[in-house]
Structure 1
Amino acid sequence: MSDWMNWLVGAGILVVAEMFTGTFYLLMIAIGLAFGALAALLGVSGPVQTLIAAGVGLVATAVLHRSRFGRPAKRNPTRDQNVNLDIGARVAVPLWQDGRARVMYRGALWDVELGPGALAEAGDYRIVEVQGNRLIVANA
């Protein structure tokens, strides 16, 4: 197999591996390997092909790291539905006492507090935050 085929096989393997990770970093390295294949097609020597592949891969990775896709969103874990699946669920509150209540939710008693702007009246509420064993709710 010629050099450019080796570079493309390596890039293909990284693209497949990237599909399992969910990040774009392996894809950036695969782009570098594709440029190594292009350099091999142009007849550049082996060490220069490697330098081109490494340089393009590093630059592409640095660009990705500085973009919005390279940094995870900074979210409050108490309000993040990906961390706590209770966020967004409904709970029925029959009675409020000074902005607090106690309700049965998922087979256990929970303390419930009103979130900002929520009105204390009996009815259904949406969970917007979970702090320990307290559910912070908003009007449904």
Structure 2
Amino acid sequence: MNNPTIWWLVAGALVALELTTGTFYLLMLALGAAAGAVVAHAGAGFTVQVVVAAAVGGLAVVVWNAYRQRQTEPPAARETAQHLDVGETVQVDAWDAQGLAQVKHRGANWTAVNTPPSKPSPGLHRIQAIQGNRLVLEKI
């Protein structure tokens, strides 16, 4: 087998492996292998092929990693996306001595805690977060 064929087989294997893992990093390395194949088709030596493949693949991984870090959502947005109940309202009838309340939300009983700066008082509250099996509420 000649060098371009080997590079294309490596690129195909990396793409197939990427499809099983679901990350884009192996796809970026496959781009490097494809660049090595193109350079091999151009008649460059094996050392140049390896250097080009490593440079293109490595640069693609660095660029992809920088892109992913820029695209990450702030923690509050992730919490809202994970818990669709954040932002919903519940009625609190009474708070106990420990600062806990039992509220009914979506047909289930929940233990609720009040946000620290305000004092617990009965009435309508908004769900700020869900910590384990407790609703964190703020007074509306």
How far, CA to CA, are the matches of 1:31 and 1:101 in structure 2?
Answer: 56
Verify: 1:135 aligned to 2:135, yes or no.
yes
The structure with the greater share of residues assigned to helix is 2
Aligned pair count reads 130
Question: Is 1:88 aligned with 2:88?
Answer: no
RMSD: 3.7
Q: Shift of residue 113 of structure 1?
A: 3.7
How far does residue 107 in structure 1 lie from its aligned partner after superposition? 6.2
TM-score by length of 1: 0.67
Partner of 2:24: 24
The gaps in structure 1 that reach 5 residues or longer are: 115-119
Code of the aligned partner of 1:95? D
* Residues 110 and 133 in structure 2, CA contact (< 8 A), matched pair in contact too: no
CA distance in 2, matches of 1:43, 1:8: 15
Q: Secondary structure at the match of 2:79?
A: coil
What is the identity, as a one-letter code, of the residue corresponding to 2:52? I
How do 1:1-140 residues align onto structure 2 when only pairs under 5 Å count? 1-67=1-67, 69-70=68-69, 72-76=72-76, 79=79, 81-82=81-82, 87-89=83-85, 93=91, 95-97=93-95, 101-103=101-103, 109-113=110-114, 121=123, 127-137=127-137
- Structure 2: gaps of 5 or more residues: 116-121
Contact kept in structure 2, 1:11 and 1:31, CA below 8 Å: yes
Q: The residue matched to 2:75 in structure 1 has which SS?
A: coil
- Is the contact between residue 90 and residue 127 of structure 2 (CA under 8 Å) also seen in structure 1? no
Q: Which string of whole-angstrom CA distances, capped at 9 and with x for unpartnered residues, describes residues 27-73 of structure 1?
A: 11111000000011111111111111011111111222222x24644
User: TM-score when scaled to structure 2?
Assistant: 0.67
